[in-house]
Structure 1
């Protein structure tokens, strides 16, 4: 770290940038690690230290860093049509082709795609779509949305309200009215003594139904959930959970939104998390691995049940008064198309399934570690929850301090994970190989050993 050098990148960063998800005062003290380049599953900082990026950047770089085909796709499109919008009956080939591709790939029948630039924008758009649709149907009260404690759906005013994490609400005066949170489906943490996964799933569904009945089904438009909760701590749903949740929603005529921002395009070992868990959504949110995050792009997929009332209302008003300058950006769309082609041509979903088995088996070997309370995951996404007391499932205080220390010790050894509360998250690129998986597991154990020795 060279913060004492006034012209260093680190010092200039501290001087000029406010970072997301960062303690600003702490950042003034320690500064950043400045990443200079990446290749495959590795990134390198400005001092030349290489790290195995076991979080795929931010749950997102499916095809790895510096993939030449994506660079070339961006360059070709930049030279041909670097920007055009999709407002007022305008279109261009990359957005048309990407929309067509996503409708064909969707795990259930979908009608239309609306492009945005991030998962947050996409989920914010969905909140507006639900209000627009309710008014179109003459149901002005049916605009409430149910999310889940520890769910993550973004950071705009609307999407952060859907998110069920305190740090996304504290000091922002959120959540906004009309958003409700039901229980987190984390069996290990929330299950009662002796309660099976199936019984716990039943209790989750019963709590959801009680919430709907308390608020009135006529006031609830939709339920939103990630197939596997990511930023809330990699929480895998218990057996029968999604089956029972969907049955409740169907009984009360409530739409289902599947937030596939993290799970989509292979992460769970199938193309979509919806396929892994038998989810049949009315609306889907896609981003991150859609372009491997080489360029910002996201998509909202809606079925005909959602589209037709929205289209009717736009005809009545004269326009659908929503959209972003970069909606369906041609360069981002071109990169996304090439990224999806690579995922399919190289069999990366199958690789995620195979390497996922190796990852889950390897991390399961950490369950005997004195600081590990639970290991959970599916495919190429996993969480390791740290504790000091296994029986009581308690971690050291203050909350999050154990995982933060473990994260630092593992990063010092050349592997980047992510600390979420007292959980270490793992989410490597879909191109990961057996040797990379083994290194992630071994380095994680070494970091945990070092943490245990320091306590």
Structure 2
């Protein structure tokens, strides 16, 4: 690297450290270490400001489904900017990309989910869902139906309402949430069930817990149940078979709306455009999505509503009254153009089929890590996988949190040219959907080497 280039990157690093407040920052180390400056990218790789290349095992953040630096995506974005870079969609205006993308999403979504409300990301999509659900029940004259149920370790975003729905307790430390409106039930994590309990009994217990919570709060007070098909940031939790169908049945029984949070799982990550129906055989009342909708190229989220909900909310509540919900950037034409091009690429290249094939290989190869002494569980589906590390495989006892085992493994991976996501004692993998078998082999072998190296460190430091 030239001296000028090095000086420029140092300046960027310093500016970032001095002025940019990052999400989920560890301030105990950030003020000293700062950030890795990501300067370039191509397909499944990113390159930092020092010229080091990494296989991106996390797809940015569950996002870059079609891979980095797609020229035709850049062209589609540029063409829309030169046509209409922005126009308000309030009232009786629209743009070509916003209308076409809404129709395409309705075509791809299951059942009668035919109506799309746009926001800027997953948190906003879930906030919108809550606001519309409350409005829906108000319109029906059921004004007490307000409470929301979600699950411990579920993640639904970081705006005030979305974080209240989120059940990851670590994320609540020091911040306020609405504990009167939102109530949480247990995480349906089969790996952490009692050793003596069958998977069937575990599923029965978790389904019954939802019904009990509805009865405890009162069916006339419960508006909705929020559930990710696979829980992402809570540790890639795949619930027991039949769990989603049965919890949907419970919701139907008590007139509770079912919101499937597909911010991570939609648009190919599990090998389907939407996972709710194709993977878990349910048609929810609402689907929220973002991330893979544009492959992260531009911010965009969507709240997809059923015909039944739309019929209620689309009737004027009073003479001259409006549906007063929305954002300046709702249906942003450039973001919607990116969404359309993203879906076009996915369909043309059969990325869902690719994920079905290579994703299965990815799962199989990652499961070979189970022979390592600290790997207690490898779980997930296709390109959404978690490796959980433990001190004892039999008891499932965790390694001392102070050891920061997930961070240690991620650091060793990074030194070897691989980015994985640390989450306490776990490491999460959500690579671009364009990963090849050779990429998978590199990822798994590098992760193995890094876990082995971490085990040596842990023994040396007295944690094993």
Tell me the TM-score range normalised by the shorter chain: over 0.9
Q: Structure 2 length normalisation: TM-score?
A: 0.95
Deviation of 1:176 (Å): 4.1
Q: Does 1:99 align with 2:105?
A: no
Residue among 113, 116, 127 paired with 1:113: 116
Do the aligned partners of 1:284 and 1:301 also contact (CA within 8 Å) in 2? yes
Q: Distance in 2 between matches of 1:400 and 1:280?
A: 43
Matched residue pairs, number? Answer: 453
Q: Aligned with 2:302: secondary structure?
A: strand
Q: Distance in 2 between matches of 1:246 and 1:198?
A: 17
Which residue matches 2:462? none
1:373-412 counterparts in 2 under 5 A? Answer: 373-398=376-401, 401-412=404-415
CA-based RMSD of the aligned residues comes to 1.7
Cα distance 1:6–1:197, how it changes in 2: closer, same or farther (>3 A)?
closer
Deviations 1:66-123 (A, max 9, x none): 0011100000000011111100111111000000000000022113110000100111
Which residue matches 1:289? 292
Deviation of 1:167 (Å): 2.8
1:251-262 counterparts in 2 under 5 A? Answer: 251-262=253-264
Q: Does 1:246 align with 2:248?
A: yes
Deviation of 1:371 (Å): 1.1
Do the aligned partners of 1:3 and 1:31 also contact (CA within 8 Å) in 2? no
Q: Distance in 1 between matches of 2:418 and 2:299?
A: 25
Which residue matches 2:151? 148
Q: Which 5+ residue runs of structure 1 have no aligned equivalent?
A: none
Residue among 202, 207, 210 paired with 1:208: 210
Q: Aligned with 1:246: secondary structure?
A: helix
Cα distance 1:399–1:256, how it changes in 2: closer, same or farther (>3 A)?
farther
Q: Distance in 2 between matches of 1:197 and 1:268?
A: 23
Deviation of 1:194 (Å): 2.6
Which residue matches 1:273? 275
Deviation of 1:378 (Å): 0.6
Do the aligned partners of 2:154 and 2:168 also contact (CA within 8 Å) in 1? yes
Q: Which 5+ residue runs of structure 2 have no aligned equivalent?
A: 459-464
Do the aligned partners of 1:355 and 1:433 also contact (CA within 8 Å) in 2? yes
Do the aligned partners of 1:198 and 1:241 also contact (CA within 8 Å) in 2? no
Q: Distance in 2 between matches of 1:224 and 1:400?
A: 33
Cα distance 1:447–1:249, how it changes in 2: closer, same or farther (>3 A)?
same
Q: Distance in 1 between matches of 2:216 and 2:347?
A: 45
Deviation of 1:3 (Å): 12
Q: Distance in 2 between matches of 1:168 and 1:130?
A: 25
1:347-426 counterparts in 2 under 5 A? Answer: 347-398=350-401, 401-426=404-429
Which residue matches 1:62? 65
Deviation of 1:25 (Å): 3.2
Q: Distance in 1 between matches of 2:311 and 2:336?
A: 25
Deviation of 1:169 (Å): 1.7
1:37-52 counterparts in 2 under 5 A? Answer: 37-52=40-55
Do the aligned partners of 1:201 and 1:241 also contact (CA within 8 Å) in 2? yes
Deviation of 1:439 (Å): 0.8
Q: Distance in 1 between matches of 2:323 and 2:409?
A: 49
Q: Does 1:225 align with 2:245?
A: no
Residue among 75, 79, 84 paired with 2:82: 79
Do the aligned partners of 2:401 and 2:425 also contact (CA within 8 Å) in 1? no
Residue among 15, 18, 34 paired with 1:15: 18
Q: Structure 1 length normalisation: TM-score?
A: 0.97
Do the aligned partners of 2:384 and 2:429 also contact (CA within 8 Å) in 1? yes
Do the aligned partners of 2:224 and 2:256 also contact (CA within 8 Å) in 1? yes
Cα distance 1:400–1:258, how it changes in 2: closer, same or farther (>3 A)?
farther
Cα distance 1:221–1:87, how it changes in 2: closer, same or farther (>3 A)?
same
Do the aligned partners of 1:295 and 1:335 also contact (CA within 8 Å) in 2? yes
Q: Distance in 1 between matches of 2:199 and 2:408?
A: 32
Mean Cα displacement is larger for which, 232-241 or 326-335? 232-241
Mean Cα displacement is larger for which, 287-296 or 411-420? 411-420
